[in-house]
Amino acid sequence: MLRLEAMSCGYGGMRAVEALDLDVNAGEIVALVGSNGAGKSSTLMATAGHVALQGGRILFDGADISRASPMARVAAGIALSPEGRRLFRDLSVRENLIVGGYVRDAAHQPGNMDTVLDLFPRLKERFESLAGTLSGGEQQMVAIGRALMSEPRLVLIDEVSLGLMPKMVDVCYRAIQALKARGLAVLLVEQSTARAFAVADRVVVLESGRAVWRGSAAEARGNSAVIDAYLGVAKVEGAA
Amino acid sequence: MLHVELTIQGLINGSMYALMAVGLTLVYGLLRILHVAHAGLYTLGAYIAVLIANATGSLALGAAVAIPVVGLAGMIVYRLLYEPILHRPPYVALIASIGLFIVMEESYRLIFGPYGETFNAPYLAERVSVGPIGAKAAEVAMVAGAIVLLGVLAFLSKRTRFGIAWRATVTDPAMARAFGVDTIAVRYANFFIASALAASAAVLVAVLNNLVEPTMGSVPSYKTLAIIVLGGLGNVAGTLVAALALGVIEAFGTIYIGHLLDRDAIAFLFLVLVLMIRPQGLFAAR
């Protein structure tokens, strides 16, 4: 579904990600882990079209979308729940969801909203509350829900658990697994390796913009060196 | 009874300020531009209305033409004046806006003469009374017009998909664009609505005073700037409250301290006092 081919991206003269190869398939969760500045968020942002590509290609369903606008990528079926969530703080939960589905026909809106509310029943109680007044966990639910309103086939989720209470993280991860069960592809960035390894099918470890380890979540769980690499304690042998 | 009448008079003036200032704060909220030329568009609306009303005998036709034409003129101002300099520091747009306002005022003077135009037959001059309280029909129309127009604006922005997308664009244009909102269309719509509101205010003021003159935008130009600062720059609800509050304070001030200060000076004394206590304005800026 998604294929990054030697994808490089960055900001101005600075290179954030260097020649990254990555596949994400339907019904699969791939986790990107790594230390701060490793290029995880930049990979998501480049895939969504918010960071300029400096090399390589991004293919979605076989089509080259490297030069497509962020809006065109949303229309194609790629949705982003960005770092820091970037909700429309002065808009209610309902209104945030409406904007999330703006690229689709208005007739789809009620059905998509029901899907989001089934996934996050808590948002029903906060439906008319301003997004800026919600707790961190509720904001994360809105960010993921807003992304789902565009009827994506690939969801990019940045920093799922950052700053959230464990109970809220559980809710978010249950929802992410439900997305997988529906056949959606999920590419997520996660600081907590335990969480990432528990939910993901495959794991890619980034260091200084390069993939230094990749394998199944089961392999990652059994390989403490991955965690060391993630923490920046030691490099993993046999780096990809 | 005097206080009731002063309050009503204040709300009438405040309604005019609200129609003007809400448009100004909409532009500021979206583009961070202090759109001084807004007052030039206001005057344009009054001239179109008076000329058509006098030519056809229909004020309704004059208003029906003036309001959308000024809305379109606002879009043209955005396209030709602001869009090319959006990437420049905000003071560049401010200077350009002041320049355009001066050009507009002088153009009105050259084209229509310095003495102003009046309606051939004064409209809405009769008095309407409810018990002991009376007001001119034009004053009632001013308040009713403000309530209806700002009510429609609130409905559009809260209850329609485009209105919600518009507010999302004000909050985070890049994210709104990423979700498929046509932010360029939002900007044009913003200028159309803001300018149409200014034209509505102008038609009502022209009817109320039975006078349209080249400089009729001068006082509103700086007073509405004061109002949007008081209301918290870009904050529509705050601007509405500030406009009505200023109208009422001016009305009371004219009676109680009018022998010391001119009405416009009272407005700015109020602004200075509020900003000394709350530099961010009465309400938080957006």
Gap from A99 CA to chain B (nearest CA, Å) = 6
Contact state of A88 with B167 under an 8 Å Cβ cutoff = yes
Alpha carbon separation from A232 to A130, A212, A227, B84, B163 (Å, rounded): 39, 11, 8, 47, 47
Element (H, E) at B50: helix B38-56
d(Cα B171, Cα B30) in Å, to the nearest integer?
8
Under a CB-based contact definition with an 8 Å cutoff, are residues A209 and A16 in contact? yes
pLDDT single digits (tens) A193-209? 888 888 999 999 998 89
d(Cα A198, Cα A213) in Å, to the nearest integer?
17
Q: How many CB atoms lie under 10 A from the CB of residue B232?
A: 22
Q: How many CB atoms lie under 10 A from the CB of residue A67?
A: 10
Under a CB-based contact definition with an 8 Å cutoff, are residues B46 and B110 in contact? no
pLDDT of residue A230: 61
pLDDT of residue B135: 83
pLDDT single digits (tens) B207-233? 999 999 999 999 999 899 889 988 888
Contact state of B179 with A71 under an 8 Å Cβ cutoff = yes
Q: Which amino acid is at A40?
A: K
**Structure tokens belonging to residue B7:** 């309050």
Under a CB-based contact definition with an 8 Å cutoff, are residues B124 and B137 in contact? yes
Contact state of A50 with B178 under an 8 Å Cβ cutoff = yes
Mutate to test the interface with A, among B160, B171, B179, B183 (most CBs of A within 10 A): B179
pLDDT of residue B49: 97
**pLDDT mean across residues, chain A:** 90
Residue of chain B whose Cα is closest to the Cα of A69: B178
Say if strands A29-34 and A185-189 run parallel, antiparallel, or are unpaired: parallel
d(Cα B146, Cα B69) in Å, to the nearest integer?
19
Phi-psi region of A239 (alpha: psi -120 to 50; beta: other; left: phi over 0): beta
Inform me whether the C-beta atom of residue A150 falls under 8 Å from chain B C-beta atoms.
Answer: yes
Residues 6+ apart with CB under 8 A from B126: B136, B137
Size of the A and B interface in Cβ pairs below 8 Å:
58
Chain A partners within 8 Å of B26 (Cβ): none
Mean pLDDT of A216-221: 87
Contact state of B171 with A95 under an 8 Å Cβ cutoff = no
DSSP B81: I
Contact state of B161 with A98 under an 8 Å Cβ cutoff = yes
Task: Compute, in degrees rounded to 10, the torsion defined by CA atoms B189, B192, B194, B198.
Answer: -170
- Domain segments of chain A as ranges: 2-231
Q: Is residue A4 pLDDT above 50, yes or no?
A: yes
Q: At what angle do helices B161-171 and B137-159 cross, to 10 degrees?
A: 80
d(Cα B164, Cα B154) in Å, to the nearest integer?
11
pLDDT single digits (tens) A152-166? 999 999 988 888 888
Chain B partners within 8 Å of A102 (Cβ): 161, 165, 179-181
d(Cα A185, Cα A194) in Å, to the nearest integer?
20
pLDDT of residue A231: 57
d(Cα B7, Cα B19) in Å, to the nearest integer?
18
Alpha carbon separation from A103 to A51, A82, A152, B186 (Å, rounded): 21, 18, 11, 15
Q: At what angle do helices B90-112 and B38-56 cross, to 10 degrees?
A: 30
> In the beta sheet, which residues pair with residue A210?
A207
3-state SS class at B61: helix
**Structure tokens belonging to residue B2:** 């005097």
Chain A partners within 8 Å of B156 (Cβ): none
pLDDT single digits (tens) A63-104? 999 999 999 999 999 999 998 899 999 999 999 999 999 999
Chain A partners within 8 Å of B286 (Cβ): 90
Inform me whether the C-beta atom of residue A90 falls under 8 Å from chain B C-beta atoms.
Answer: yes
d(Cα B194, Cα A36) in Å, to the nearest integer?
45
Contact state of A99 with B178 under an 8 Å Cβ cutoff = no
**Structure tokens belonging to residue B67:** 């309001």
Instruction: Report the topology of domain A2-231.
Output: Rossmann fold (3.40.50)
- Domain segments of chain B as ranges: 19-216
pLDDT of residue B55: 96
Q: Is residue A22 pLDDT above 50, yes or no?
A: yes
Under a CB-based contact definition with an 8 Å cutoff, are residues B47 and B109 in contact? no
The pLDDT confidence band at residue A238, using thresholds 50, 70 and 90, is very low
pLDDT of residue B267: 83
pLDDT of residue B213: 96
Q: Which amino acid is at A96?
A: N
pLDDT single digits (tens) A99-118? 999 999 999 999 999 999 99
Among the partner residues A75, A80, A146, nearest to B180 by beta-carbon distance: A75
Residue of chain B whose Cα is closest to the Cα of A94: B164
pLDDT of residue B4: 87
Among the partner residues A91, A103, A146, nearest to B167 by beta-carbon distance: A91
Under a CB-based contact definition with an 8 Å cutoff, are residues B37 and B81 in contact? yes
In terms of Cβ atoms closer than 10 Å to its own Cβ (0-12, 13-18, 19+), residue A111 is: exposed
Gap from A188 CA to chain B (nearest CA, Å) = 19
Q: Is residue A235 pLDDT above 60, yes or no?
A: no
Contact state of A102 with B175 under an 8 Å Cβ cutoff = no
d(Cα B276, Cα B209) in Å, to the nearest integer?
34
**Residue ranges of chain B whose pLDDT lies below 70:** 284-286
**Structure tokens belonging to residue B44:** 């344009």
Chain A partners within 8 Å of B168 (Cβ): 88, 91, 95-96, 99
Chain B partners within 8 Å of A91 (Cβ): 164, 167-168, 171
Alpha carbon separation from B38 to A75, B18, B171 (Å, rounded): 37, 13, 23
Contact state of B179 with A103 under an 8 Å Cβ cutoff = yes
Among the partner residues A74, A90, A106, nearest to B179 by beta-carbon distance: A74
d(Cα A4, Cα A202) in Å, to the nearest integer?
15
In terms of Cα–Cα distance, which of A17, A24, A18, A20 is closest to A3? A24
In terms of Cβ atoms closer than 10 Å to its own Cβ (0-12, 13-18, 19+), residue A110 is: exposed
